[in-house]
Amino acid sequence: MTDVLTQPRPIRLKGRSFLALALTPEPPFDDWLARLDDLAARSAGFFLRRPVVLDVEGLDIDRSQLRKLVDQLGTRSVRIMGIEGARPSLLCSDLPPAMTDGRPASDFEAPIAEQDDEVDAAESVVPSDPLPTKATPSIIVTRPVRSGQSLFVPEGDVTVVGSVASGAEVVAGGSIHIYGTLRGRAMAGTTGGASARIFCRKLEAELIAIDGFYKTAEEMEPDLRGKAVQIWLEGETIKLGTLG
Amino acid sequence: MGKVIVVTSGKGGVGKTTSSAALGAALAQNGEKVVVVDFDVGLRNLDLVMGAERRVVYDLVNVIQGEAKLTQALIRDKRLETLYLLPASQTRDKDNLTPEGVEKVITALKRAFDWVICDSPAGIERGATLAMRHADVAIVVTNPEVSSVRDSDRIIGLLDSKTLKAENGECMEKHLLLTRYDPARAERGDMLNVDDVLEILSIPLLGIVPESMDVLRASNVGSPVTLADGHSAPAIAYFDAARRLKGENLPVAIPGEKRGFFGKIFGRKAA
């Protein structure tokens, strides 16, 4: 009899930010759509296969108007991947999801005329710079992270001078340093940093993760509980070791 | 101007109402003018614990909605003439509490009383956030068990972010009141010990109230435990807590713990 050995392989969940085109509609929407058509007429395929986010921040718009607008953009081959700045009540399951934490980037140049050497549409989707040239910011938190609080730092390291409570979470793009007890969750290297590490003075964590690979409390070596520990990634395995 | 205290916990059944009544009575027994406000609209209990349930005419919601004057809704205690109760409504729900209305009531009470004690409902929703909103000092009531401690931790986070003081960039003064402490169970290790709780919550300790039948007995006869039997162990713990609240520096004794000479002198100091 053959038994298939199935190793429980966790699913990788990673956060990543991309560059998308943000469209800001202005009322009256029919006029705005006409101007959009004018722009598209000057450059066929400008919106084709580009990721587009609809920014409705501060717009007085209701759900049926929004749905109509998304449909009308759809007929113009403008596919809306997400909606920014909408009240949660405005969105529902048949509309694109809400986008948050958007950061401004340089404006897209609207095409003046049809370009001969058309760039491959897929290539023109520029992912966010994987190696930022500016120094990555790091954050120091000098009070305990309480249950229910979520400390989210997409770029750089986080240092917590205090404990991270059960039911609290610290999410960082870089490494996480906790000068106290880690009782909640710590997720380091969430934006693709396999070299990120987690350090804590006392390990009582519910969950730890680096670069999308995670380990729950149950899977951690019991003799490391309560110890000063560092956590790093080796290949696809999370390693834990005491700090001398 | 009086001080506004919120008695809160997150979790239900840990002793918020008992503690509000006992501390209110303990402060009033020293001649201070105290009002205890029940914020648990829809599930009021404070009137029962204080033995005033048959004298409720108007309540907090009536005052907020302008159907009654504040002086009409306040009930004076029959035993202590400086102790008052502002009951909650049992027939309405917490949606009837408006931020503006609560602010008006608290401001008026602060002018007339030395202490305004707000008995918060359980949970982290409207009732609880409005009860803590105008507080100067918070008393976090916690039982020595994991779920209560985690909920208290959550509440401390909210006290540091959702209150007026926090929004003005000030730090809310917070105290831990450990209730239903059972020395026998703590010794057997069935319960979190005091140091564990203090380490997790890292706020100063106001007092430790032992688990006792006296508390239940006092509630059943409608009397704050500090009034029912002033010599019982929980009553003494509440009297001491009230003195610490006024700024006295009293060491906190752990019930059932035999302490050495140095322990007695230096007492216990929390974070």
Show the DSSP H helices in B81-212 as ranges: 99-112, 126-133, 146-159, 164-167, 183-188, 194-201
The stretch A189-212 carries a mean pLDDT of 93
Tell me what pLDDT residue A43 has. Answer: 65
Residue pair B35/B110 in contact by the 8 Å Cβ criterion: no
Tell me what pLDDT residue B186 has.
84
Residue A83's nearest CA partner among A70, A64, A68, A65 is A70
CA closest to B271 among chain A residues:
A162
pLDDT at B50: 95
Q: What is the pLDDT of residues A22-42, one digit of tens each?
A: 788 888 888 888 888 877 776
| A147–B154 CB contact, under 8 Å | yes
Instruction: Output the pLDDT for position A110.
Output: 55
Range with lowest mean pLDDT among A26-35, A219-228, B14-23, B35-44? A26-35
Q: Domain extents for chain A?
A: 21-99, 109-242
Residue pLDDT, tens place only, B155-194: 999 999 999 999 998 989 999 999 999 988 888 888 899 9
CA atoms B121, B125, B127, B128: torsion sign: positive
φ/ψ (deg, to 5) at A13: -120, 120
**E-assigned strands of A45-156?**
52-55, 80-84, 98-99, 139-141, 150-153
A 10 A CB-CB count for B199 gives: 16
Kind plus residue range of the DSSP H or E element containing B138: strand B137-142
Residue whose tokens read 């029962």:
B48
Measured distance CA(B260)–CA(A62) in Å, rounded? 70
- Tell me the CATH number of domain A109-242, given options 3.30.930.10, 1.10.150.120, 3.30.470.20, 2.160.20.70: 2.160.20.70
**Distance in angstroms (rounded) separating the CA atoms of residues B179 and B225:** 13
Determine whether the interchain pair B154/A148 forms a contact, defined as Cβ–Cβ distance below 8 Å. Answer: yes
A118 pLDDT band, cuts 50/70/90, is very low
User: What tokens were used for B156?
Assistant: 């401390």
Chain A residues within 8 A of B146 when measuring between CB atoms: 166
Residues of chain A contacting B, Cβ within 8 Å: 143-144, 146-149, 162-163, 165-168, 181, 183
Q: How confident is the model at residue A5 (pLDDT cuts 50, 70, 90)?
A: low
Interchain CB contact of B153 with A (< 8 Å): yes
Q: Which of A197-201, B5-9, B113-117, B192-196 has the lowest mean pLDDT?
A: B192-196
B162 dihedral zone (left: phi>0; alpha: psi -120 to 50; beta): alpha
> Is B157 close to A163, i.e. CB distance below 8 A?
no
CA A66 to chain B, closest CA, distance in angstroms equals: 31
The minimum CA-CA distance between A220 and chain B, rounded to whole Å, is 21
Q: What is the pLDDT of residue A4?
A: 57
The pLDDT value recorded for residue A124 is 40
Has residue B203 got a pLDDT over 80?
Answer: yes
ipTM of predicted complex: 0.73
- Identify the closest residue of chain A to B200 by CA–CA distance: A165
Task: Give CATH for domain A21-99.
Answer: 3.30.70
Q: Which residue of B has its CA nearest to A145?
A: B157
The b-or-e profile of A69-81 (16+ CB within 10 A means b, else e) is: bbeebeeeebebe
Would the pLDDT of B271 be above 80? no
Q: Read off the pTM.
A: 0.69
- Mark yes or no for CB contact B153/A163 under 8 Å: no
Residues with Cβ within 8 Å of B149's Cβ and at least 6 positions away in sequence, in order, are B142, B192, B197, B200, B201
- Please report the number of interchain residue pairs, chain A to chain B, with beta-carbon separation below 8 angstroms: 36
Closest by Cα among B178, B180, B194, B176 to B139: B176
CA B194 from centre of chain: 19
In the prediction, which pLDDT does A24 show? 82
Instruction: Determine the distance in angstroms separating the CA of B84 from the nearest CA of chain A, rounded to an integer.
Output: 35
Q: Which two tokens stand for residue A138?
A: 């790091």
Q: Which of A143, A165, A181 sits opposite B153 (nearest CB)?
A: A165
Place A132 in a pLDDT band, splitting at 50, 70 and 90: very low
CA distance B150 to chain A (A): 6
- The pLDDT of A208-215, averaged and rounded, is 92
Strand pairing class (A176-182; A158-160):
parallel
Q: What is the DSSP string of B229-255?
A: -TTSHHHHHHHHHHHHHTT---PPPPT
- CA-based nearest residue in chain A for residue B161: A149
Among A142, A145, A146, most B C-beta atoms within 10 A, so best to mutate, is A146
- pLDDT, tens digit, 9 for 90 and up, residues A62-90: 888 888 888 888 888 788 888 888 877 77
* β-strands A229-234, A237-242 pairing: antiparallel
